[in-house]
Amino acid sequence: MNATELTEVELQNLKESLLFQKGTILNKTHEFKEEQSSMAAVADEAEAASQDISNNISIHLHERDRTALYAIERALGKIADGTYGQCEACSELISARRLQARPFTALCIDCMEEQESHSSIFQ
C-alpha cells in the first residue's frame, strides 16, 4: 500500500469539487423542471401538486446523474464523519490521485477492477 492520508488542503479541494458537481447536477434538474413546467400547463394540476418534490427530482434525473448524486452525497457524508478516502470493500486508503480524478469513488483501484471484471461476466 503506497497511498497516504489526504492532507487538509487536498480534502478541502475534493470537498469543493464534490459540492460543485452536486450543484451542477441539481442545476440541470432545475432547468429541466422549468422546461417541464412550461410544457405541463395542460397537465392535471391536482396530480402535480400531490407529488413530493424530492421524489419528482429523482424521477426526472437521468439514471447516471442520480447515481452520481447518490455517490456524491455519500462521499460528503464520509468527509463529515472522517472516513473519506477509505475503500468500502477492503478499507485500504484510496490514492489521492484517484480521488482527484473521481472524488466520489468508493472503491480503490484494485477493488474497482475486481468489480468491473465480475460485472463484465454478466453483460
Element (H, E) at 59: helix 53-60
Contact indicator for 60, 29 with CB cutoff of 8 Å: yes
Using CB under 5 A as the binding rule, the residues of this chain from 94 to 113 that contact Zn ion are: 108, 111
Q: Which is nearer to Zn ion, 19 or 90 (CB)?
A: 90
**Does the footprint of Zn ion cover residue 89 (CB under 5 A)?**
yes
- Is the Cβ of residue 5 or residue 34 nearer to Zn ion in the bound state? 5
Among 6, 69, 79, 87, binds Zn ion (CB under 5 A): 87
Residue 19 is a binding residue for Zn ion (CB under 5 A): no
Q: How near is the Cβ of 113 to Zn ion at its closest, in Å?
A: 10
Burial annotation 42-66 (CB, 10 A radius, 16+ → b, else e)? eeeeeeeeeeeeeeebeeebeeebb
- Determine the Cα–Cα distance for residues 104 and 17; give it in Å rounded to an integer: 10
Site for Zn ion in 53-72 (CB under 5 A): none
Report the alpha-carbon distance of residue 80 to residue 97 in Å, rounded. Answer: 21
Nearer to Zn ion, 26 or 111 (CB): 111
List the end-to-end C-alpha distance of the chain, in Å, as a whole number. Answer: 31
Q: Kindly state whether residue 90 participates in binding Zn ion, applying the rule CB under 5 A.
A: yes
Question: Toward Zn ion, which CB reaches closer, 6 or 61?
Answer: 6
The contact set with Zn ion (CB under 5 A) reads 87, 89-90, 108, 111
